[in-house]
Amino acid sequence: MSPPGRYECTISGLRWVCKTHVNLKYQFSSWELHRAMMKSLGYKQGGPLLDITIISGELEEVHLPHFACFGDDPSFKKKVRVLHVEDCGVSIVKVDEVTRFHVKILHPSFSPKGVLVRSGLRVKAHCDLLLYQAKTAFLTLHAYLVPCDSSVEQAMKKKEQSYGYRSIRKPQPVKSLRMKDWFSLTTSSPSAEVKPPKMKLRYDNTTPNFFEVFIEDADVDFGMKLISDVEGEIVWDHTIRKADYRHETTQNSQNQHFVDLHRTDLIQRVSQVKPILDKLLAKRVITDEGNSTIMAKRTTQDQIRELYMGPLRASGSRAKNIFYEILKELEPLLIKDLKGE
């Protein structure tokens, strides 16, 4: 229930003005059902589609969010419309005012509504780079380059969290970016793998593509840059700090590594010793000589103890990270039990 006043939803970006009490509800909706119709009329989406219902009262104004950047173009108002969905059909309606991030409609009636932009225009968009980190010992980031659409951000947040990823917040690109241009993501870490090496900026509110950044031995701050392949300039440049990506997966509150914290349990309970050593050998954590020394021990407990005393102690956090990932693969039930899952 909204008393008389001006309001803005911090999640959706929707704004409204009312002179009397208004009770309304709204939610994100999908553009998919309307894509063919929009294409036939020569328009494309320019923001989230919001399904708005007025339960009681009336609104004086509604301001729908959009991500299009028109710069100094004096004719931009003629290029913007609003999709209006009703039981009797779908229509394209004019807007009363266009501002940097919203379009205004006076005395609106309600149904699903969203901002449209004329097709064929090489429109620039206000964009964001959404970063999500996997809860693994190795640093894995998913970087989504998307127009500033709160429905996309909410969908990606829900999707990534369902896979156990968590958000790393960084500022937006310093300028608006042209849709359908190609962009490259680079890092200052010499061991980083970034795939794909470049990606096209496009609008997809359900399954946008992303850069995957993988760093096996991340243990320091490093830089990340987004570069426009067309203009050849850096449009996003930030430092990913160790404090941004170090968390409880491999460390406890006293900064102990998981394999150190659970050393006693792992020595006593690990059973797949030979397959583990084979993988450590392939990763060059241990040598052939070290492998023979460990396997010469009579019991599995003594073998794991020797692994701790030798290679894991000598190689530090990188070796422990690799050991942890191998344990997750070969001893998944043990690791889940130690993590309390």
pLDDT tens sequence across 72-130: 666 777 778 888 877 767 788 888 888 889 999 998 877 667 888 887 777 789 999 99
Three-state DSSP at 251 gives: strand
Which residue from 45, 244, 210 is spatially nearest to 130, judged by alpha carbons?
A: 210
Residue 157 and residue 231 in one domain: yes
Kindly state whether residues 149 and 237 are assigned to the same domain: yes
**Same domain, residue pair 14 and 110:** yes
Q: Compute φ and ψ for 268, nearest 5 degrees.
A: -80, -30
Containing structural domain, residue 240: 125-245
9 and 113 housed in the same domain? yes
DSSP string, 52-64: EEEEES--SEEEE
User: Of 212, 245, 278, which residue sits at a domain end?
Assistant: 245
3-62 per-position pLDDT tens digit = 999 999 988 999 999 999 999 999 998 888 888 888 888 888 899 999 888 889 989 999
Among 213, 245, 277, the domain boundary falls at: 245
Q: Which stretch of DSSP H or E encloses residue 29?
A: strand 23-29
Both 214 and 285 in one domain: the answer is: no
The answer to the question of residue 331 being in a domain is yes
The pTM (predicted TM-score) of the whole model is 0.70
Q: pLDDT band at residue 168, thresholds of 50, 70 and 90?
A: very high
Cα Rg, the chain, nearest whole Å: 26
Q: Is the pLDDT of residue 309 over 80?
A: yes
Task: Specify if 253 maps to a domain.
Answer: no
Element (H, E) at 203: none
Report if residue 221 sits inside a domain.
yes
Q: How do residues 246-289 score in pLDDT, each as one tens digit?
A: 754 444 445 578 888 888 889 999 999 999 999 999 988 999 98
Q: Comparing 332 with 207, which gets the higher pLDDT? A: 332
Report, as an integer, the average pLDDT of 324-338. Answer: 90
Do 236 and 292 share a structural domain?
no
What's the start-to-end Cα distance of the chain, in Å?
41
Distance of CA 93 to the CA centre of its chain: 33
* Residue 213 in tokens: 């950044």
Whether residue 176 is found in the same domain as residue 211: yes
CA dihedral 245, 247, 250, 254 (to 10 degrees): 130
Residue 250, in any domain of the structure: no
Q: Is the residue at 209 inside a domain?
A: yes
Integer Cα distance of 96 and 77 in angstroms? 9
Let me know the angle formed at the C-alpha of 114 by 110 and 120, rounded to the nearest 5 degrees: 145
